[in-house]
Amino acid sequence: MHSGERLLREWLAAGDRGDVEAFDRYLHPDVIVHAPLGLSTQGAEAEKAVWADAKAAMPDIRHEVQETIALESRAAARVVVTGTLIGEFAGISAAGKSFMIDQVIFAHVEDGLIVEAWEIADTGSLLRQLGVLTD
């Protein structure tokens, strides 16, 4: 497995466990993460804070990696994200509602760490499942 693919898988697994301190093994200290719902971050510490908030609001969050691909210093993962929102996250409060959405993550890797990542998620489906949007 390409190192970029491994980094993506292990970063997501650590986040799902709530082990944000492990992010130091996967993310460059100055990492930039572009994310939907106003959750973009600059720096590993900011990314740790977002994941800690996510885990507190969705203790059962899970990122199931469906497939990965990598080429040179780039890697991508197709992911199914599931969870139950029991608290507030990203300004959304949907007490006890569960969700399942598709996500894709693209990452640039340098010196064995993710230096920049783009998270693309089906936020429309997420907001409908949480009752924030209606059809």
Instruction: Please report whether residue 40 resides in a domain.
Output: yes
Are the C-beta atoms of residues 68 and 7 closer than 8 Å to each other? no
pLDDT in tens, 3-51: 999 999 999 999 999 999 999 999 999 999 999 999 999 999 999 999 9
The DSSP code for 133 is: S
Quick check: helix, strand or coil at residue 130? Answer: coil
CATH code at 75?
A: 3.10.450.50
pLDDT at 135 over 80: no
Q: Could you identify the residue written with the tokens 């991508």?
A: 76
Per-residue pLDDT, 1? 75
Instruction: Please report whether residue 97 resides in a domain.
Output: yes
Rg of the chain over all Cα atoms, to the nearest angstrom: 14
Instruction: Please report whether residue 135 resides in a domain.
Output: no
Per-residue pLDDT, 99? 96
Taking every pair of Cα atoms in the chain, the longest distance, rounded to a whole number of angstroms, is 46
d(CA 65, CA 59): 18
Structural domain count, the chain: 1
pLDDT in tens, 69-127: 999 999 999 999 999 999 989 988 877 899 999 999 999 999 999 999 999 999 999 99
d(CA 135, CA 129): 11
List the beta bridge partners of residue 88. 93
Domain that holds residue 111: 3-129
